[in-house]
Chain A
Amino acid sequence: MLYAAVAARSFRRFSTYRTATLAGIFTNSVFGVIYSYAYLALWHQRPDAGGYDATDAVTYVWIGQALLMTVALWGGGTTDDLADRIRTGDVAIDLYRPVSMVGWYLAGDLGRATYHVLTRGVAPTVLGLLLFRIALPGTTAAAVGFVVSLVLAVVTSFAIRFLVACSAFWLLDQTGVRTLSGVLAIFLSGMTLPLVIFPEPLRSIALALPWASYLQTPADIWLGHRAGTGIVSGIAVQALWIAVLLALCQVVLGAATRKVVVQGG
């Protein structure tokens, strides 16, 4: 119940940035149009590249633009608040709160993601539908699987961003690590280019890493390239990474708490 309230408050907070949201939707749409034409040109040359057809490729572009902010690919979200509170020392208050700190920030980030998917996710998708031929999920399983996979994508990204923010416990300043992490996320999530058209062995390596969870896995479920057991196995891999990453968050937080307690911040 508490977490629901935290999520709701975070949703409302992000919904106050109206112009920023509109400007963001515009920019996502512009990039969506550019990449659509680029991919159409590519798939015109190789109509089966990566096992996708041209419609799949364009759909992938718009799913990517819709998830860019939702999954917070570049970083951002409630973990930026955390990094700020670590820098100022306010984090001591969070550490002594009788609720899980990871849970607290995660709930907030899910509230943010909900706002972003409803605005910066839906709007570009609708525009993409109007301008290009986009495939919608073919089956109920695909639609449900996509939603589940999307939630897991946000959680995975949250866990990584949380770890990045925690670097501020030792470095004071997260900007360097945050930018580096964003750069890796953009490339390894398949935002630059779908992971499925990467040459081997890069393709297999990228698909096994947690960043594949951000975009490639949900997109493949939406497009029907993962169906039946494929959906289950995709989601299982996402869940596995989440378990590992959240456990890591707890370990890092434990170490940070000891540091704060011993050194007084």
Chain B
Amino acid sequence: MADLRAAPREYVWIARMWVRSSLAYPLSFWLLTLSSALITLLDFVGLALMFHTVSALGGFGLREVALLYGASGIGIGVADLVIGSVEQIGVHVRTGTLDSMLTRPVPLLVQICADRFAIRRLGRITQALAVFGYGAWWVDWTPSKCGVAALMVVSSCLIFFSFFVAFSCIQFWTLDSTEFANAFTYGGNTMTQYPMTIFPREVLKGLTFVVPVAFVNWYPCLYLLDRPDPFGMPPWFAVFSPVVAALTLTVAGLAWRTGVRHYTSTGS
């Protein structure tokens, strides 16, 4: 248990090394920072251009979509910043750095996630916060809505956390399957940037019960926006996100343990 308590501190120590490392090539550092700012900017410009053409998408206006977009963006942004590097498992196995990490007295997940920590990913979070703020400006806030919003943001981060870890673990079995995980992490983010009403009912069911990204923002946002559920799902789904987050975290934890066990029992 002592190990787990020290984990956040150890994470910060290692992450700080990588931030300083990245400053060794200042031009690349600034170009990457610029690119990453531009990516998030252009991503939002794409959405804004859509609303330049139409006034509503799936029955939701720009302000409402901004709330969805922001909530999902904060989640993926935080998860990507903190543990996005877990995608590199395959590379660590191939180059043998995983073995070196296994001989250090720091939990493997901490080492892998802190590896190549990139401060520039803060840009995405900042953009998402701004868009979320714009959407939130038009919400009729009540104490209970504040509570739901807080739970939503935390759950959103945790659900994307779990996706990053769980789907990256596939690489313990097949090394070059990074892109497969992207379908769920970045794909999950793209799906939840739009109101679920653009999808057919079957897709929504899949995104609720199988790959539960709808809990990232959709159900809580319906409550914040005082909208009845267009698909007739139970209203308490609005506060169910933390439970879903706990579930996905458990699955991710199991996937991680199984993956590491597989690695240490096959060495490949």
Direct contact between A and B judged by beta carbons closer than 8 A: yes
Report A's interface with B, CB cutoff 8 A. 17, 19-20, 23-24, 26-27, 30-31, 33-35, 37-38, 40-42, 45-46, 49-50, 171-173, 175-177, 179-180, 182-184, 186-187, 192-193, 197-199
Give the residue of B34, B50, B176 whose beta carbon is less than 8 angstroms from that of A42: B50
Q: Is the CB of B187 within 8 A of A23?
A: no
Q: Which of A35, A40, A41, A177 has the most CB of B within 10 A?
A: A41
Q: Closest Cβ of chain B: how far from A160's Cβ, in Å?
A: 15
B109 within 8 A of A: no
Q: Is the CB of A42 within 8 A of B49?
A: no
A179 to B36, CA, bound (A): 8
Q: Is the CB of B54 within 8 A of A183?
A: no
Q: Closest Cβ of chain B: how far from A181's Cβ, in Å?
A: 9
B246 within 8 A of A: no
A45 to B65, CA, bound (A): 16
B182 within 8 A of A: yes
Q: Which residue of chain B is the closest to A49 with respect to CB atoms?
A: B53
A187 to B52, CA, bound (A): 16
Find chain A residues with CB under 8 A from B57 CB: 38, 41-42, 45
A159 to B182, CA, bound (A): 28
A197 to B36, CA, bound (A): 25
Find chain A residues with CB under 8 A from B39 CB: 183
Q: Is the CB of A23 within 8 A of B177?
A: yes
B43 within 8 A of A: yes
B31 within 8 A of A: yes
Give the residue of B45, B182, B194 whose beta carbon is less than 8 angstroms from that of A38: B194
Q: Is the CB of B46 within 8 A of A193?
A: yes
Q: Is the CB of A37 within 8 A of B32?
A: no
Digitize B17-54: 1 where CB-to-A-CB distance is under 8 Å, 0 elsewhere: 00000000101111110111011001101100110111
Known: A17-B176, A24-B179, A183-B35. A49 touches B54 (CB 8 A): yes
Known: A42-B57, A183-B39. A31 touches B183 (CB 8 A): yes
Find chain B residues with CB under 8 A from A34 CB: 187, 190-191, 194
Give the residue of B25, B45, B58, B175 whose beta carbon is less than 8 angstroms from that of A19: B175
Task: Given A19-B176, A37-B203, A192-B43, output 17 extra A-B contacts at Cβ < 8 Å.
Answer: A19-B175, A20-B177, A20-B179, A26-B179, A27-B179, A33-B203, A37-B200, A38-B194, A42-B57, A45-B55, A46-B53, A49-B53, A50-B53, A175-B32, A176-B25, A177-B31, A179-B32
Tally of contact residues, B, Cβ under 8 A: 43
Q: Closest Cβ of chain B: how far from A140's Cβ, in Å?
A: 33
Q: Is the CB of B176 within 8 A of A45?
A: no
Q: Is the CB of B53 within 8 A of A30?
A: no
Q: Which residue of chain A is the closest to B177 with respect to CB atoms?
A: A23
Known: A37-B198, A38-B198, A179-B32. A20 touches B43 (CB 8 A): no
A20 to B175, CA, bound (A): 9
A199 to B38, CA, bound (A): 19
Find chain A residues with CB under 8 A from B56 CB: 45
Report B's interface with A, CB cutoff 8 A. 25, 27-32, 34-36, 38-39, 42-43, 45-46, 49-50, 52-58, 174-180, 182-183, 187, 190-191, 194, 197-200, 203
Find chain B residues with CB under 8 A from A40 CB: 198
From DSSP, what is the main secondary structure of chain A's interface residues? Answer: helix
Q: Which of A24, A50, A171 has the most CB of B within 10 A?
A: A24
A19 to B170, CA, bound (A): 11
Q: Is the CB of A41 within 8 A of B58?
A: yes
Q: Is the CB of B28 within 8 A of A175?
A: yes
Q: Which of B57, B175, B194, B198 has the most CB of A within 10 A?
A: B198
A46 to B38, CA, bound (A): 28
Find chain B residues with CB under 8 A from A186 CB: 42
A31 to B180, CA, bound (A): 12
Q: Is the CB of B31 within 8 A of A26?
A: no
Q: Which of B31, B42, B203 has the most CB of A within 10 A?
A: B31
Find chain B residues with CB under 8 A from A45 CB: 53-57
A23 to B194, CA, bound (A): 24
3 pairs of A and B residues whose beta carbons are closest in the complex = A176-B31, A176-B28, A23-B180
Q: Is the CB of A171 within 8 A of B28?
A: yes
Find chain A residues with CB under 8 A from B197 CB: 41
Q: Is the CB of B27 within 8 A of A176?
A: yes
Q: Is the CB of B176 within 8 A of A187?
A: no
Q: Which residue of chain B is the closest to A188 with respect to CB atoms?
A: B42
Find chain A residues with CB under 8 A from B187 CB: 27, 30-31, 34
